[in-house]
Amino acid sequence: MTGYDVHEVRKDFPLLSKGLIYFDNAATSLTPRKVVDAMVNYLLECRANVGRGSYPLARIATEMYEDVREKAAKFIGAKPKEVAFVKNTTEAINLVSAGIKWRKEDNVVITALEHHSNMLPWLRSSKLHGFELRTVKPNRDGLLMVEDLEKAVDNNTRVISVAHVSNVLGTITPLKDIAEVACSHGALLFVDAAQSAPHMPIDLRSFKCDFLAFSAHKMCGPPGVGVLYINEGVEVEPLNVGGGTVSDASLSGYRLVGRPAVFEAGTPPISDVIGLGAAIDYLTSIGLENIARHEVELARKIRKSISALPFIKVLGPEDPQTGIISFSVEGVKAEDVALAMGNLNICVRAGFHCAIPLVRDILGEGLGVVRASLYLYNTAEEVDVFLEALENVVRTLKGVS
C-alpha cells in the first residue's frame, strides 16, 4: 500500500487531466496548485524585498522567506543557519568547489555515477588549483561498493562528493558507510541529493555530512531555487559578494556578514523560495516514506515487464531501489524511442542524461538510454499503458510485426 490515495493526489496537478503520462520526473517534476497559489499570494499580496526594509510589508515578506529556511532545515535535519538558498544543485556544487581554499597536495574523490554537475566543477577546480581528481567506478549493476571507494581515499583527500541517488540507474549510495570513510581520513563529504530529497527522507543527524544540496524543481517546487546545506564548522568562501552580504564597506574594503546571508548576494528569488516552502509542506503531508514505497512498487512492475520484451536491455540492479528505470533498445537510438513514445503522449527522457562518462564509457551505451522516472502522482494504470506502448514502439522501430 502506498499510504495515500494517488488518484486524489493527481487532482492537485492540472496537467495530468490532459491525458499526459509524465515519466520524466528525474529531470523535473510537475507542480501542484498549492505551490502555485503560495507563490501567487506572495506576488500579489506581499510583494516586498526581504531583509532590507523596516516597513510592515517588508517585515512580513522577510518572515515568510525565513520561515521557508526553517522548513528546509527541518526537512533534512539541519540548523537554519546551515541552510542557504541557491539557484539549484549545480550552483551549490560550484559554490563549494570554488570556495574551498585548495592545496596542491589535496585530492577529491567522486564516482563514475555522477551527473555532470557533480563532476565538472571538481574537474575544473582540479585544473585550476593543481590537485588530483580521483574517480571510483560502480560494479556491473551500477552499485557503488564502499570498499572500492575507500581504496581511492587517503589522508590527503579533501572532499568526497557523491550522488545520493544515480539519475541514470536509480541506485542508492551507502551514505552512512561513506561518511565513516570520510571521517576516518579527515575528508569533507558533499552529497548531491537532487534525486533523493524529493523522494525519500533525509536526516543529517543520522550520518555526518559537510555539504548537501537539492533543487526545488524536482520536488514539486518551481525552477530557479535550491538548497545548500553547509556544516557550520566548515569554512567556505562565498561565490558572490554584493548587496546583503556585507556589514560594512568602503572604497578600499568590506566586512562580510555571517551565514547564511553571506551566500545569498543580491535580491533572492523570493517567490520561488515561497514555492519551495509550499512544496516541502506538500510532500511532508503525504510522507516521503509513502512516496518512496509507491515509486519502487511501480518501478518493479516496469522492470519485470520490460525485461521480458525482446531487443530491450534494462540497466541497473534487478530489484529497483528507487523509481528510476533506464533501458536501451538494441540498435536503436534512445532519442528515437522517446520521440515515438512522446507522439503517444508518454513523456520519457532519452540520451546520456548529463552523465556521458557513465552511459557511454562505463555502461557502453553509445546510442544513449531511455529513462522512465516516476513520482508520487504516477499510477499502475499509467504503467500498463506505458508498457503496451513501449512494446509496440520497439516492434515498429525494429521492423518486427
Q: Which of 46, 183, 209, 354 is catalytic?
A: 354
Length of the chain: 401
Helix segments in 46-191, DSSP class H: 56-76, 89-99, 120-129, 146-152, 175-184
Give the C-alpha separation, 312 to 386, whole Å: 14
Give the C-alpha separation, 248 to 313, whole Å: 60
Long-range contacts of 120-126 (CB under 8 A, 24+ apart): 121/93, 121/94, 121/96, 121/97, 122/93, 122/97, 122/159, 122/161, 124/97, 125/97, 125/98, 125/100
SS3 278: helix
Give the C-alpha separation, 389 to 322, whole Å: 22
Give the C-alpha separation, 295 to 378, whole Å: 8
Cell of 82: 546551515
Give the C-alpha separation, 133 to 119, whole Å: 9
Residue with the three cell numbers 512516496: 291
Q: Is 244 exposed, middle or buried (0-12, 13-18, 19+ CB in 10 A)?
A: middle
With contact defined as beta carbons under 8 Å apart, do 298 and 323 qualify?
yes
What is the radius of gyration, based on Cα positions, of the chain?
22
Active site residue 354: yes
**Which of the residues are catalytic?**
354
